[in-house]
Each structure stands twice: as structure tokens, then as C-alpha cells.
Amino acid sequence: MNTTPTPRIAIIGAGPGGLICARILQQHGITAAVYDRDAGPAARDQGGTLDLHADNGQIALREAGLLEEFFRLARPEGQEMRQMDPAGTILFHHVPEQGERFKPEIDRGRLRDLLLDSLQPGTVRWGHALQTVSGPAEGPRQLHFTGGTTIEADLVVGADGAWSKVRRALSQATPRYSGVSFLEAWFHDVATRHPDIAELVGQGGAAAADGDRGLFAQRNSGDHIRVYIIQRVPADWITAGGLTPQATDGIRALLLERYRDWSPRLRRLISDNDGPYVDRPIFALPVPHAWEHNPTVTLLGDAAHLMPPLGVGVNLAMLDACELALAIACHDTIDEAIHAYEETMLPRSTEMAQLLDGAAGELLSTELPDFATAGNH
């Protein structure tokens, strides 16, 4: 980066996209601060497992100098996939070949720790919940955080996910409900406490669907399994049924009735979970989603192109972050870097979003879509 003085870069969101962007910038001698609303790295559960693909997510990790460390942490056996019918009959079974590394699984928490540990101390500023972005388009920008803190930046990168606050500086678009909802269930110490479910799921994932309902079970590290109960329902289906998200027994009874024709073994993915369910309605941004070029603000990942969870979300976020960081490193001004980045990112994300527009329903299809990537968004 040849500009003088050094631009002040603020990345909002310490997810994989924001962190990999900061890491690659630092690899090129460029300073960036990452601001995240969480109180600290252990403030909340980071979610389940995800697969990083050789043609996008792994490209970013290679550029960050972290690919080999990723392979040491990843679970290539997690590429195993079983697809079943509601009777529990296996229709398709993929077992990864020895050395297969196209899309190995890694827990979100482990990936985040890998990225956090790679950054210079103090890069991430925890406890900073962004409220608004103000200031002229040409900069500098003011970032206003909950609690009254305000900082100035010459570039604001919105890596703050589906409900991005940075997006509001560029676009009026808001995510829309897809008509499909996930309910997450957890199973712990599965080898001892849930051996039948452990055998059913295998080392990777297992899925079944009947057109309106689906189940996707996914092996995590540490002897855990997460199950996603997938339904075509209104977003408020729990409260519409007279329940609250904390009413575990009531939700379970309702689900068992809805899945009453499924095999008893598969129904155990609904009935035997440890602890409460987690409601995850699926939202997506309108397609296409683009904005007028702005010389001081840009977006990456879900903030730019929230799509149904069909295995592309984190991978595209990391590729976005990689390309943005390299553009900043290779151009004389932030404005030129944003132009170069968006010229590639926007057409790519639009093409993928059009491909997946309305595709959340494919998670329930009996046509056997690739459930192996469900839940990885």
C-alpha cells in the first residue's frame, strides 16, 4: 500500500471473513483493526462444523499462510455423507478416499481460534457493537458504537453478517425469510450416551427428507453431533403454536407429531437431544444485491450476499476477504482497491445468489440434493 498517510482500516465483525481479511493485510504489512460486538472470543457458541473448499476457502487460507495448519486441525473423514429416506434406508453413501482434501470439515470454533491466534495482539477490539456509520462518502468515516465510543476510519469493511449495520451505509436491502426454518439440536458424548445416533450419522453427515420436512445430522469434533430439523414453516411457527423457544418439551411433542411417519431411529434425532433447541429461520438477501460504488465503505460475505445455507457462505466470505485484502495491498488508493475488489466480487456473488435464489426448499427435496453442505453457512 503506497498511500501516505497510512489509511485507517476498520473491519466490523470477527467472523472468518473479517479475521482472514485482517490476517492477509497484516501479511502485507498493512494494519487493520477488527471490531466485534461480543465481549470476548468465548462469549457465545460459534456453531457447528463447516467444509472449506479447495477452490475458495482454502485459497484464502493459503494466501494467509495458514493452509497447512488448517489441514492439521481439519477432519477429512467429515466428508463422509449418508442420504436416507424417511424410513431410514440408505440411498447414497459417500466415503472419502484416503488423502481426499477437497472440502474437509472443521469446527467453526477451531477455525476462529486458528485465525485469532494468527493475528497481531490487540487486532480484535471486543465489546464494540456498531450502531451506525456516518461521515461523508469521501471520508473520513465515523463509526458509532453502543456505549458512546466513536472512532474514525478511512475504510470501513462490513464483515458483520446477515444483519449488517455497515450495509445500511450502502444499501437499503434487508434479508427476507426464505420460507424454510432450521431447528438445531445438540448431542454430547455421543459414543457413550448416544451410540445408536453416532452409528447412524457416521464420521460426517446423514440426511433425509420427504418434501416438506428434513433432518440433517452432522458430526462435530469432541464427540458431538448437531442435528438440523428442517421444515417449510412460517418464521414464527413456534410462537404461532403457542410455545416459546425455551419450551423444549412442547416443541419436541409438536415435532414428533409432524415426523410421526418417519422411522423410530430417525425420530430419535428429534427426541433424544441434550438441552434446548435453537431456532434458526433461514433468511436471504434480495437477488441481485448490489450498490453504488463508495470510496470508503465495502462489504464481504453475508453482509454483501446472504444466501441459503448450501455450503457456499463461509467459503465465499473468505474468498471475498482474501481478494479485498490483496486489492488493498496492490493499489495506490483505497478507492482503487474497492473498485477492483467489487468488479470481481459483485458479479461472482450475483451469479451464485441467482443460482441459489429460492433454493432453501432444496434442503427438503426428495431428489437428493447435496445435503453434505447443509448447515455450513
- List, for residues 215-248, the tens digit of each pLDDT value: 999 999 889 999 999 999 999 999 999 999 999 9
Residue 302, annotated as binding a ligand: yes
Residue indicated by cell numbers 470439515:
105
Give the pLDDT of residue 50.
84
Distance CA 159, CA 317 (A): 8
Residue 252, annotated as binding a ligand: no
Find all residues with CB under 8 Å of 29, minimum gap 6, and list them: 1
Taking the model in full, what pTM does it have?
0.91
Give the pLDDT of residue 49.
83
Q: Which CATH architecture has domain 9-79+102-174+285-361?
A: 3-Layer(bba) Sandwich (3.50)
Two domains, one topology: 9-79+102-174+285-361 and 177-282+364-373: no
Give the pLDDT of residue 95.
85
Give the pLDDT of residue 372.
37
- Check: CATH 1.10.10.10 for 177-282+364-373? no
- Cell triple for residue 123? 487486532
Strand 90-94 to strand 224-232: parallel, antiparallel, or no bridges (unpaired)?
A: unpaired
Peptide bond into 276 cis (omega under 30): no
Q: Is the dihedral of CA 324, 326, 331, 332 positive or negative?
A: positive
Give the pLDDT of residue 312.
80
Q: Domains of the chain: which residue ranges? A: 9-79+102-174+285-361, 177-282+364-373
Residue 108, annotated as binding a ligand: yes
- List, for residues 155-173, the tens digit of each pLDDT value: 999 999 999 999 999 999 9
pLDDT lower than 70: segments of the chain: 1-5, 46, 311, 367-377
Give the pLDDT of residue 51.
86
Q: Are 208 and 266 in contact (CB under 8 A)?
A: yes
Give the pLDDT of residue 368.
52
Helices 313-330 + 16-27 axis angle, to 10: 30
Residue 280, annotated as binding a ligand: no
